[in-house]
Amino acid sequence: MIRTLCIVLMILTAGGLNAQEPEYLELIKAENQLRALFLELYSDSVPDPEPVLAEIQSIMPAALEMEGAMEYPWSRLDRIGVKTSEDKKVRVFTWHVEDDPDHYRYFGYIQVALKRGKTGIYPLVDNFKPQRSVYNLEQSTENWYGKLYYSIVTKSVKRKTWYTLMGMDFNDSRSNLKFVEVLVIHRNKPRFEKQVFFNGRDKVDRVVLEYSDQVAITVRYDPNLDLIAYDHLVPLHPIYQNNYEFYGPDGSFGGLEFSSGTWIVREDIDARLQY
């Protein structure tokens, strides 16, 4: 009994020491630096965000590549989006800057777990292109349609894994946009998958929902239904047909159901109890 207790105490002590290893302390230091910079970036008193952004982008890539950075939670970066896949192999960091109510800039990094404990870091470079009603597009980390990612859904079939991202673009002073896109890891690099959504007629690269900035809508994965549920959007008055800055939810829901590598649109799902 005494021998068993000693072994347990040794294990616990070793675990405590691991938390104080130099690499772990460096991760804490980097996180605190980044947290302070993001707090400054989003404070009302910052006169010019550019120096702060430059400092963030000089520190962040090296921090995210440090030993143990993939396992580290980065939970104190609570002013930005930090989303990790269920299999812990992909993490996405995104944030934004508002230049004026009609213009936003987006920034981000994708962190990918590689073999032998290595980590790959890929900057997301905003192309500043309009993305209203753009369902098919050439998108990459270097040519990225900027947005804030707020959720990742991990789906695997055999040896392939799809990372489905849900994101939001504030667009302009009249409407917002929400998206569903799919990321895969190909030869250790993130790649946006094409033609992975089927709307009943065509396969498209992503789902795009535009709606009035005066309303809120839901686009999120429901584990109980095992699908991505979203609000049906309708014009707030018939005269606004196809004028999406005047669209809002009608109280019903559609859904996306994953099947063999494709998200299939399902109309009129009963999601009322979940939302």
Residue 52 within a domain: yes
* Residue 205 lies inside a defined structural domain of this protein: no
Residue 274 has pLDDT above 70, yes or no: no
Structural domain includes residue 53: yes
177, 132 contact by CB (below 8 A)? yes
| Whether residue 7 has pLDDT greater than 50 | no
What was the pLDDT predicted at 222? 94
23, part of any domain: yes
pLDDT of residue 20: 55
Give the range of the structural domain holding residue 61, as residue numbers without chain letter.
1-69
Task: Yes or no: say if 244 and 132 are a contact pair by the CB < 8 Å rule.
Answer: yes
Task: Give the pTM.
Answer: 0.90
Kind of pairing, strands 262-269 and 197-198? Answer: parallel
Structural domain contains residue 30: yes
5 within some domain: yes
Q: Which residues fall within 8 angstroms of residue 136, CB to CB, at 6 or more apart? A: 194, 195, 204, 205
Does some domain include residue 140? no
Q: What pLDDT is stored for residue 2 in this prediction?
A: 42
Task: Examine residue 4 and state whether it is found in any structural domain, yes or no.
Answer: yes
Q: What's the structural domain count of the chain?
A: 1
